[in-house]
Every structure is written in C-alpha cells, then in structure tokens.
Amino acid sequence: MEDAERAAAGGVRGSVRAAERSPGPGGTRGLAVLAAVGMLLAGCASMPNQGEIRRVDASQGVDSQVRVFGAPPADRAGPADIVDGFLEAMTSDDPQLATARKYLTDQAAKDWRPGSAVTVLSAGRDTVPVTGEKDPEGPRWKVSGKKLATVDERSAYQPETGGKRYEEYLQLVRVKDQWRIATPPSGLVLSESDFQRIYKPVNKYYFAGNTLVADPVYVRQRNDPESRMDPTTQTVQSLLAGPSKWLGPVVSTAFPTGTALPEGTKSLSFDGQNTLRVPLNEKAKNIGQPQCQKMATQLMYTVRDLIASRLERVELLSADGKSSLCWVTAGSSAGFATRPPFPEHQYYVDKDSRLVRMTLDVNAEEQQQQDKPEFAPGPLATATGFKVGTAAVTYDEKRAAVVGEDGHGLYVVTLTTAGAMPQPVLGGKTSRLVAPSWDARGDLWIADVDPQNQALWRIPGGTGTPQKVDVAGLDGGRISALKASSDGVRLALVVEKEGGRKNLYIGRIERPDGKEDATAVSVRELRPAAPQMAEVTAMSWAPHGRLLVVGRESGGVDQARYMLADGSMVAASLPGATGLKAIAASEDESKPVVGYSGEDGIGIVWLPPGAQWRTVAAGGRAPVYPG
C-alpha cells in the first residue's frame, strides 16, 4: 500500500503544457516540456456511485524524468508578456530558477527568496494591469487567485478555508529599454497541479516521550532553488530545523539546538551497503551515545520514509566527516522508538449486537479469511441481554470499551478473564455516546452528543475519573465521531455544523505532564484534515500518520482517499462501495482495510491487495482495529 501511495503521490496530475506559444514581437515563449517517452499516467482510483464492489489499483505515476523549463524573456517584450513569462517560469524544474530571475531587475533577482514560502492556488492565476494610477516607474500588475494552501519556511503544508483570496502586486520598471519586475512575489505562487508536480510529501519524525510522531512536510522533487540541495538533503535539513509550528508544542527532538549540516553540504549519498552517512556541525560534538542514537533513529525513520530503496544503516559523523559519532541499523533503531503492538485481530459488532473478533490475513496463494469469527472473550461473551452499539479495543487487546446499543453507557471490560459486566464508567439516561477510541498511552476518548450535555471526555487509563476536555475551535460544531492517533498527540474529529454537514478536523492533544493540574488535558488548534471534501462519512488512522477518509467532494460521488494529517491529499485511493458507512485501517501495512457497507445487508467487507472487496459477515457493522 505504501508503494502505491508514494508512486501515486509523485505522479503528475492535470495536463502538462507540451506546446509552445509562438514567439512574436515582444512575446515570450511558453514553458517547454522535456519528457521521457515512456511515461505512465497516474491512475487515481475513484469510487463508483453504483454497481458492485470492485478493486481499483493506483498505478505508477508519471515518469520522474519529465522536466519542465521556462523560456527567457524575448527582446523588448511588453509588460503583459513579462508578467506571464515570469509566472510560468516559476513553475520550472530549473533547480536555481535562473530563467525566472531573468525577468527581474538585478536587485530583485538577488533579493528574491522563492524557497521561503509557497502559495498554492486551487485554480489558475488572474493577472490584470492596475488601471487608474500613474506610476512614474512603470505599470503595476495584480496577481490573484483562490488560495488552496500555503507551505511555510519549515516546509509545512497549511490548507486554507473560507475561500480566502491570494493577491500581490508586481511593479515593472524599465531597465536598458527592457521591462523587468522590481517587486516579485514573496515566494513561489503555483497552481495545484504544478505544486503536485514539483513537490512531494515526506514525513520527518520527532519524539513524544519515546514514541515517534510523523510530521508531514513537502520538499522539491529535485534540487531546491535556494539551497541547491537534493530531496534527501532537503528533508534532513528540515528535520534538523525542528518540527512544524503546529506540532512543535507536543513533540521534541534529540538534536541539540543549532544542530545543522556543515556549511556547504549539498548532497548526502548512500554507499553500497545502503548506509547513509550524515555529517553534523559542532553543536553535536560532545553528545552522549544514547542521545546520539536517538538522533540517528529520527534520521533512520525520516529517510526510510522518503526513499524507495531499503535503508539499512544511518551513521552520524563529525563536521569534517572523519569521525563517527554513532550509528543505528534498521533493526536497532526500533529499540529507541516505542510503538504499539501490531494487531492480531479485527473486531466488529455482529447482527445480534455482540462484539466479534476475527483474523484476516492475506494469503499470497488463496487470499482468503484464515479464521472464522468468534465472540470476543470475557464478560461480553457471557453477558445476557447486553447489546453492543460500538466498541474500541486496546492496542494490547486485553480490554475493550463498549457503548451500549442505546448509546447511554460506556463500559470497560476485560478480554482475558470471565466475569460479570462492570458498572458503566460514563453516561446516563440522556447520554448519546459516540464510538470510543483508545490512544497508545492507554487513555480512553469518547464524546457525548446529547444537545444538553455535549462534551469530549477522556478516561485516564480507561479506569480513572472521567475528565471533560476543552476543545478550542469547534465554533458551535458538534463532535459526531473521533479517533485518537496511535502516537497519542493528535485527535481526529468529525464535526457536524449547522445544516448537518460533517467535516474532518485534526486537533493537537496537549498534556501538562509533570504539572500539578494533571487533569487539564486539552485539544488545541483544530485544522481541516480533508478540506477538499464537502462532507465526510467515515475515517480511520492509517500507516505513516495518514488518514483514510470516506467522503465526497462538492457535486461528486463518495470516495475513499488517503489524506496526510496536514490536510493535503495523497493520490492513492481505494475503490468504493455504495453505502460505505465505516472504515478501519491498521498501522500494520500487511493488514487489510475493513469496512461496513449498509447496502442490501452486505455488512462487513474487507479488501485483499489486488482483489475485489469481499464480504466477511452479512449484517455486521462498526468494524475496528485495536486503538
């Protein structure tokens, strides 16, 4: 699944400008495209709005050798052609954007920092001359468009909401009888298709306690125009610079403050044993071995996520590259980064409202279900008359949190020993509780959507006193579904607002660890996690800090798509089923996606790689993996 996502994410979506405009007097040539002949179009799978459940595979993206270059300004080009030529040249694959700089005055070309930020527009740019003013230097042109997102100086993607407009002005002046731009945009301005062609998403990793947290950023597919670094070196540099502003308050880095690559480092290479050697400046000179190995672990996970080839070892070197500071292997790095155990089972609620578990594995020859479903052990297996509405299972699969079918009570039961059903830990006669979720710390999260008692609750350890959690940024919305990330620092929330429309948000879980008021856990800075979708039906966390989201775009049909936690869309998608109401994915990439289809009593379905959806249990519902 990861390879398909990465290949699709790197593909060129939208059409590539393959034709050149004829250069007339005062005109400019459009972008020239140099492409490898044998390229594959990105096959982004979509969900049909009717028919049977089918498997649609994401194909490889366009050949990475496709290159787009700008053309320099023609002699005595007019102001309109200078503006158009410059904006087109900004989309070039020229590593230093040298052609784009030819449209600028000498001083502007020297001062321009295109790598400082990127503005992504959802559609084409509008360029119009500013009329009604007299500037003795020359005309001004307004560049505008609808903002889709921005990428900041730390390479972090931030989606825009509310239809915010981008607007900047380009001042033209005469330089030796040629029009040139004296005030270029503060950074790059790209359409969505150009952005996806030039940049690719990668994860860099930081610590929350001993758990590694994926921090998604975007780097150029080829060398950065300012640093001239290749993608691997760009990513390492971004890791050393620190986490994104949004994630920063809840994670830490093992690298000492000020740690960077030695001045002049442009490329980090791999040797024949798949070892990456990374020199660091003097800030890392006197660190101890445990800390150094944690630093190498961050690099191991970050670079391994970036490259397609297998990375076996990371070694940190002194600034001169002559002394080894420490090293880790792919195997030893796992000892410095804890992660929840991979699941043994999938769970769902059967047609008789009993919690059931099963083991779905992919058999290379038969691709079939390995074990028959069985009742979850413990009190739920023997309880008489108790009907399960929704459930969540701890990562170690020793306990389950279940909400009664009436939605009034939350119960935490053991899955290891028999016994009577316990008393509810939360709820009442008017409660309307959503499906619960466990995080990797063992805390239990749940929301009450009763209009008179709307609240988000956390039950420490699943047995402590329920604590009401403050959520900043709901703006009158109501939480209708939630899912905690396995790293314990993010909470995915489906929020229903006026009119009944449901949208997906990610909130940062802030825990005042070590402080006297240890109960004041809060969720901060909600940000849209699927801004392209007009409405979200279901969601689940997926491998590499991603989300698998079921929803539809405005005027479109239902789709199941992978989203990065920053709200940007990964090209890979899953086939759909009419009436897909719930979905569950695991951090273990070898485990299949499981769903619930409400169409014609289909019930629980699962998706073996390369095959069609298959029915597991007619009439079943509410599928979940541990977490």
Strands (E) across 209-264 are located at 211-220
Q: Give the residue-averaged pLDDT of 509-534.
A: 82
C-alpha pair distances (Å), 313 with each of 25, 254, 285, 484, 520: 58, 18, 20, 32, 41
Cβ atoms within 10 Å, residue 496: 17
Share of the chain above pLDDT 70, in %: 84
Cβ atoms within 10 Å, residue 13: 18
C-alpha pair distances (Å), 507 with each of 303, 501, 521: 26, 19, 12
Three-state secondary-structure class, residue 84: helix
Q: pLDDT confidence of 20, banded at 50, 70, 90?
A: very low
List the CATH number of the domain containing 590.
2.120.10.30
Cα gap 203→505, rounded to integer Å: 19
Position 516 pLDDT exceeds 90: no
Residue 578 has a pLDDT of 61
Q: Give the residue-averaged pLDDT of 4-21.
A: 32
Q: pLDDT confidence of 21, banded at 50, 70, 90?
A: very low
Pairing of β 444-448 and β 437-438 = antiparallel
| Same domain, residue pair 375 and 503 | yes
3-state secondary structure 157-202: EEECCCCCEEEEEEEEEEECCEEEECCCCCCEEEEHHHHHHHEEEE
Alpha carbons within 13 A on the beta-carbon side of 77: 24
Q: pLDDT confidence of 372, banded at 50, 70, 90?
A: confident
What is the helix (H) or strand (E) element at residue 85, kind and residue range? helix 79-89
Decide which of 316, 336, 356 is a domain's last residue: 336
| Same domain, residue pair 430 and 450 | yes
| Same domain, residue pair 295 and 237 | yes
Three-state secondary-structure class, residue 393: strand
User: What's the order of all strands across the beta sheet hosting 569-574?
Assistant: 535-542, 546-552, 558-564, 569-574
Q: Give the residue-averaged pLDDT of 592-613.
A: 86
| Same domain, residue pair 307 and 363 | no
Task: Output 341 or 554, whichever has higher pLDDT.
Answer: 341
Task: Output 396 or 22, whichever has higher pLDDT.
Answer: 396
Cα gap 72→261, rounded to integer Å: 34
Residue 596 lies in a domain: yes
Q: Mean pLDDT for the chain?
A: 84
Q: Which residues face 129 on adjacent strands?
A: 141
| Same domain, residue pair 176 and 323 | no
Cα gap 99→70, rounded to integer Å: 6
Residue 166 lies in a domain: yes
| Same domain, residue pair 184 and 210 | no
Residue 288 has a pLDDT of 95
Residue 553 has a pLDDT of 84
* 216-220, 349-353, 361-365: least confident range: 361-365
What is the helix (H) or strand (E) element at residue 306, kind and residue range? helix 289-306
Share of the chain above pLDDT 90, in %: 61
Residue 103 has a pLDDT of 97
Q: Which of 314-318, 361-365, 383-387 has the highest mean pLDDT?
A: 314-318
Decide which of 175, 198, 221 is a domain's last residue: 198
Residue 379 has a pLDDT of 95
Residue 242 lies in a domain: yes
| Same domain, residue pair 184 and 64 | yes
Residue 500 has a pLDDT of 86
436: closest CA among 418, 449, 452? 449
Q: Which residues face 504 on adjacent strands?
A: 494
Q: pLDDT confidence of 54, banded at 50, 70, 90?
A: very low
Each as own residue / partner, the long-range contacts of residues 83-87 (CB below 8 Å, 24 or more positions apart, any chain) are 83/127, 83/141, 83/143, 83/170, 83/172, 83/181, 84/28, 84/127, 85/28, 85/29, 86/170, 86/181, 86/184, 87/125, 87/127, 87/143, 87/189
| Same domain, residue pair 131 and 162 | yes
Q: Give the residue-averaged pLDDT of 333-360.
A: 93
Residue 363 has a pLDDT of 57
Residue 367 has a pLDDT of 43
Q: Give the residue-averaged pLDDT of 152-181.
A: 91
CA 459 to chain centre: 27
Task: Output 281 or 498, whichever has higher pLDDT.
Answer: 281
Are 537 and 502 in contact by the 8 Å Cβ rule? The answer is yes
Residue 14 has a pLDDT of 28
Residue 341 lies in a domain: no
What are 214's two structure tokens? 């994926």
Task: Output 81 or 28, whichever has higher pLDDT.
Answer: 81
Model confidence pLDDT, tens digit, residues 455-506: 999 999 999 999 999 999 898 899 999 999 999 999 999 999 888 899 999 9
| Same domain, residue pair 235 and 133 | no
Residue 450 lies in a domain: yes
Cα gap 382→412, rounded to integer Å: 15
- The domain tally of the chain equals 3
| Same domain, residue pair 157 and 282 | no
Q: Give the residue-averaged pLDDT of 364-374.
A: 59
| Same domain, residue pair 108 and 249 | no
Cα gap 192→189, rounded to integer Å: 10
Cβ atoms within 10 Å, residue 516: 7
What are 458's two structure tokens? 């956390």
Q: pLDDT confidence of 160, banded at 50, 70, 90?
A: confident
Residue 1 has a pLDDT of 42
Residue 13 lies in a domain: yes
* First-residue to last-residue Cα distance in the chain: 20
Residue 43 identity: G
Domain limits at 499?
A: 346-624
> Tokens 């499906």, residue?
435
Position 46 pLDDT exceeds 60: no
Position 179 pLDDT exceeds 80: yes
Position 23 pLDDT exceeds 50: no
What is the helix (H) or strand (E) element at residue 99, kind and residue range? helix 98-101
Q: Give the residue-averaged pLDDT of 405-410.
A: 96
Residue 185 lies in a domain: yes
> Tokens 């030529």, residue?
85
Residue 68 has a pLDDT of 77
Q: pLDDT confidence of 125, banded at 50, 70, 90?
A: confident
Q: Cα-atom radius of gyration of the chain, to the nearest Å?
A: 27
| Same domain, residue pair 193 and 213 | no
Question: pTM of this prediction?
Answer: 0.85
Q: Which of 112-121, 358-367, 457-466 has the highest mean pLDDT?
A: 457-466
Residue 60 has a pLDDT of 31
- Rounded to 10°, the helix 231-241/289-306 angle is 140
Residue 240 lies in a domain: yes
Position 228 pLDDT exceeds 50: yes
DSSP 256: P
Decide which of 149, 179, 198 is a domain's last residue: 198
